[in-house]
Amino acid sequence: MSVGAAAGAWPWYRFMPRPKLGQTQNLGRTLPPVADTRRYKHLVLILARELASNLATPAGIVDDHGMLVFYNEAAEAIVGPPFSEVGEVPMDEWTAGFNPRVLGSEEPLPAEQRPARIALDQRRASHERYLATSADGVDREIAVTALPLYAHADEFVGIMVIFWRE
Amino acid sequence: MRLTIWGCRGSVPTPGPATVHSGGNTSCVEVFVDQDCALVLDAGTGIRGLGEQLMRRGCSRIHLLLTHLHLDHLEGLRFFAPLWDSRVTVEIWGPPSPLVSLRERISRAFSPPLFPLHLADVDAQVKFHDVPREPWKIGGATLRAQLVVHPGPTVGYRVATETASMAYLPDHEPALAGAIEGRDVEWISGAAVAADADLLVHDAQFFEDEYEARIGWGHSSVGDAVAYGRAVGAKRLLLFHHEPNHSDRGLEELEGQARAFDGAGELQPTLAREGMVIDLPLARALDKR
């Protein structure tokens, strides 16, 4: 098909030589929205989600502001409803729903000792075993691995959390 | 806003009779927003001709926005006339690297045995910037950059004014990060710069059968380019980064396939060609028909 063959609005371009400069015209359109910084996910989070989506191990993705932005199908066995029904939620709020407790003593596990919070605050990998109540109401001993996600130039963009059932 | 295509070939320059219609120069696009400065996207061999025109226009302040530093996006810089004029300021923006600064990476192209002169020999005032994570302004334009799927640190750009917006992702393989269709737009590579753009300039290097053997090379099939344009809500799609082995005839076939993929859509996929000029917003052009 050659240029200009289509019907309707063709062509919407032309070729040099260009006309005099400075003739662009303001048609009074409203300002196009600048893409929302928080809405669009960083490439590293996109790739991490793709990895997590293909894991048979429960895993979730948290952004650099502590918002849980994804968990995979395998995680639904622990947390209940699919992520599409839950939507994005603050990580600490989501974690608290499982009543994490210290193994043996059953004392509440402080947030700052939870692997995800450590990875988020201190930007280092962390691993911990604790007791949690899963969506079916059963207390389970689980192990959690959390690791920071970095982009180019050491830009911290979030964490990946992996849940291991003991 | 006015775009001028100075180079749209991918990978390596391809001059010759088989490419006279589409052009053989590698990536370079000028985005004219206002008289105060020039915005230039990439420094492929097309930038040589642009440089001569900028000198004729007396342009003394230039912002060069590099998507990445693969040679086909950089090799024209050494022959960019404004760089060799002490009256000119050139600000170069590019993706950050964890190890080596943008200046150091570019200086490799300005050193023997690749080139007889060094970056320190350049006459213009040259400043280097890693692209910020947040939007920033240059003159009357708001710019945004986002890392996208392509080997090595690579960004796409969005240039927006009060009346128009364009997105430039010349080297991009979004399919590598998962299915494009049916995915929430915020989870699509490059959507932060491409979403709802009046014009999307996007990689469409391969036919579908060619792509099958080149998955992971960092470029898109024409079908994926159309799917991407639809997924991010672009208003028009300019097919860019032409495969060096594709002649004018082959590219016309590729354009036809793109329109078939778009079907009853409104993307109106069109081949980028050297010398092409596009005024945005498109409504102005449409009113003329």
For residue A10, what pLDDT is reported?
A: 65
**pLDDT value, residue B285:** 45
Asked whether residue A36 carries a pLDDT value surpassing 60, the answer given is no
pLDDT of residue B32: 96
Residue B17's SS3 state is helix
Mean pLDDT of the region B243-271: 96
Percentage of the residues of chain B whose pLDDT score is greater than 70 = 98
Taking CA atoms, B24 is separated from A63, A117, B67, B129, B269, in Å, by 43, 53, 19, 29, 20
Q: What is the mean pLDDT of residues B50-61?
A: 95
Q: Tell me the per-residue pLDDT of A135-145, one tens digit each, with 9 for 90 and over.
A: 888 888 999 99
Range name among A53-57, B33-37, B136-140, B187-191 with the lowest pLDDT average: B33-37
In a domain, A17, yes or no: no
Place of tokens 């059953």: A106
| Cβ contact, residue pair A13, B270, below 8 Å | yes
Q: What is the pLDDT of residue B282?
A: 82
Q: Considering the domain boundaries, does residue A29 fall inside one?
A: no
The answer to the question of residue B288 being in a domain is no
A4: pLDDT strictly greater than 60: no
Chain A contacts of B164, Cβ < 8 Å? 29, 32
Q: A17 pLDDT band (50/70/90 cuts)? A: low
CATH number of the domain that residue B200 is part of? 3.60.15.10
pLDDT single digits (tens) B85-142: 999 999 999 999 878 899 999 999 999 999 999 999 999 999 999 999 899 999 999 9
* B256 domain-assigned: yes
What is the spatial distance between Cα B90 and Cα A138, in angstroms, rounded to a whole number? 64
Distance from CA of B116 to the nearest CA of A (A): 31
Helix (H, G, I), strand (E, B) or coil at B175: helix
Q: Is residue A87 included in any domain, yes or no? A: yes
**Is the pTM for the entire model greater than 0.90?**
no
- Residue B210, domain extent: 2-283
> Is residue A146 predicted with pLDDT exceeding 50?
yes
- Domain membership of residue A36 (yes or no) is no
What's the mean pLDDT in B19-38?
A: 94
Residue B289 resides in a domain: no
| Cβ–Cβ gap A46/B187 under 8 Å | yes
Residue B173 located in a structural domain: yes
Q: For residue A58, tell me if it sits in a domain.
A: yes
* Confidence check: pLDDT of A30 > 50: no
* pLDDT of amino acid A37: 54
| pLDDT band at residue A38 using 50, 70 and 90 as cut-offs | low
Query: Alpha-carbon torsion B251, B252, B258, B260, what sign?
Result: negative
In a domain, A105, yes or no: yes
Does residue B154 form part of some domain? yes
CA distance A69 to chain B (A): 10
Q: Does the pLDDT value for residue B246 go beyond 50?
A: yes
At residue B195, does pLDDT exceed 80? yes
Residue A154, Cβ density class (10 Å: 0-12 exposed, 13-18 middle, ≥19 buried): exposed
* Mean pLDDT comparison of A36-45, A90-99, B135-144, highest-scoring range: B135-144
**What Å distances lie between residue B23 and B31, B75, B160, B170, CA to CA?**
19, 16, 27, 16
In this prediction, residue A45 carries a pLDDT of: 96
Q: What is the CATH number of the domain that holds A50?
A: 3.30.450.20
Which of B163, B262, B266 to mutate: most A Cβ within 10 Å?
B163
- Per-residue pLDDT at A76 exceeds 90: no
Asked whether residue A93 is assigned to any structural domain, the reply reads yes
- Tell me, what's the pLDDT at B119? 94
Of A26, A46, A53, nearest to B163 by CB-CB distance is: A26
pLDDT value at residue A153: 77
Average pLDDT value over all residues in chain A? 82
Domain count, chain A: 1
Q: Nearest CA of chain A to the CA of B163: how many Å?
A: 6
Q: Which residues pair with B203 in a beta bridge?
A: B240
| Peptide bond before residue B15 is cis, with ω within 30 degrees of 0 | no
Q: Which of A26-40, B22-36, B48-62 has the lowest mean pLDDT?
A: A26-40
Q: Which residues from B are below 8 Å from A53, CB to CB?
A: 178
